[in-house]
């Protein structure tokens, strides 16, 4: 699918916001389900990109920065895979391949993350000097420079993919043999399952399992709309919060906060 100039500009803007939010973490534009959906919205491929974003979100739920270990770049994976999906023009059929491509893109994004953080260290020293001088204007300026650098970390690769164009991307995808595309589809499904399993493993408590089972059962009822499922989900969440306030910690003691799941997470 060929994009016009306005769509390309909007895609780059979304990519820039995804990079910025990877640090600010206020509006969550870097989350796959939001980044992919926004790119699908501005390019006219909402449904395939929404499916892609939802699948990638299940993988990204298992990614976290722990100490000095940096998690794969979810923002770059979301943006790059969504753009490739749109340019490839395969629609829903290309979601599995895009998911499989997103994982190596996320790992490759670690290099850009390391470079950006290394430069940010230099910026901190410059800001320390500005603070000693009492120059608030310089402090604000370097704050903006650091944030813009994070946005460009995602916007520049996105612009490069757009510069390649739909033709080469579609040609590359069409030349891929069947065994490779099938393998990518299977691998993409396995990656989603592994990410989902990591989330379940973290949440696996006797207090949460009943809600997990109810969600799976309700999802099979075809007469329920997304609004109905969302309403049921909110109701179950409110029930859980009410019960958690009435009970103690997950280990039966009185030292918990009243939220069994929160007590388990706090231990980590």
What's the CA gap between 57 and 59, in Å, rounded? 5
Indicate whether 110 pLDDT > 70.
Answer: yes
What's the CA gap between 268 and 20, in Å, rounded? 28
Most confident of the ranges 73-82, 92-101, 183-192: 73-82
Tokens of 268: 């980590």
Most confident of the ranges 75-84, 87-96, 200-209: 75-84
In this prediction, residue 258 carries a pLDDT of 54
> How many CB atoms neighbour CB 129 within 10 A?
12
Residue 69, strand partner residues: 66
Half-sphere exposure of 51 (CA within 13 A, CB side): 16
Q: What is the mean pLDDT of residues 91-113?
A: 77
Number of H helices and E strands in the chain, helices first, is 11, 0
Indicate whether 250 pLDDT > 50.
Answer: no
Indicate whether 54 pLDDT > 50.
Answer: yes
Buried b (16+ CB within 10 A) or exposed e, 208-240: beeeeeeeeeeeeeeeeeeeeeeeeeeeeeeeb
Tokens of 2: 């060929």
In this prediction, residue 184 carries a pLDDT of 61
Give, rounded to a whole angstrom, the gap between the first and last alpha carbons of the chain: 46
What's the CA gap between 124 and 144, in Å, rounded? 12
In this prediction, residue 192 carries a pLDDT of 59
Buried b (16+ CB within 10 A) or exposed e, 73-83: bbbbbbbbbbb
């Amino acid at each position: 699918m060929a994009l016009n100039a306005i769509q390309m500009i909007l895609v780059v803007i979304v990519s820039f916001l995804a990079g910025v939010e990877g640090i600010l973490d206020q509006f969550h534009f870097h989350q796959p389900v939001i980044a992919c959906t926004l790119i699908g919205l501005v390019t006219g491929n909402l449904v395939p990109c929404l499916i892609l974003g939802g699948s990638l979100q299940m993988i990204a739920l298992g990614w976290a920065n722990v100490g000095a270990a940096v998690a794969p770049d979810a923002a770059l994976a979301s943006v790059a895979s969504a753009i490739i999906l749109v340019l490839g023009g395969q629609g829903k059929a290309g979601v599995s391949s895009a998911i499989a491509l997103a994982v190596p893109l996320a790992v490759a994004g670690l290099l850009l993350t390391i470079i950006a953080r290394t430069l940010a260290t230099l910026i901190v020293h410059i800001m320390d000097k500005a603070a000693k001088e009492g120059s608030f204007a310089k402090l604000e300026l370097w704050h903006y420079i650091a944030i813009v650098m994070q946005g460009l970390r995602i916007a520049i690769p996105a612009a490069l993919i757009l510069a390649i164009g739909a033709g080469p991307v579609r040609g590359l995808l069409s030349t891929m043999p069947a065994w490779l595309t099938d393998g990518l589809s299977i691998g993409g499904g396995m990656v989603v399952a592994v990410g989902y399993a990591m989330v379940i493993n973290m949440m696996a408590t006797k207090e949460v399992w009943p809600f997990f089972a109810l969600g799976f059962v309700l999802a099979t009822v075809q007469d329920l709309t997304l609004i109905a499922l969302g309403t049921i989900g909110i109701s179950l969440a409110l029930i859980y919060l009410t019960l958690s306030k009435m009970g103690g910690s997950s280990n039966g003691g009185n030292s918990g906060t009243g939220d069994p799941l929160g007590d388990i997470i706090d231990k980590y």
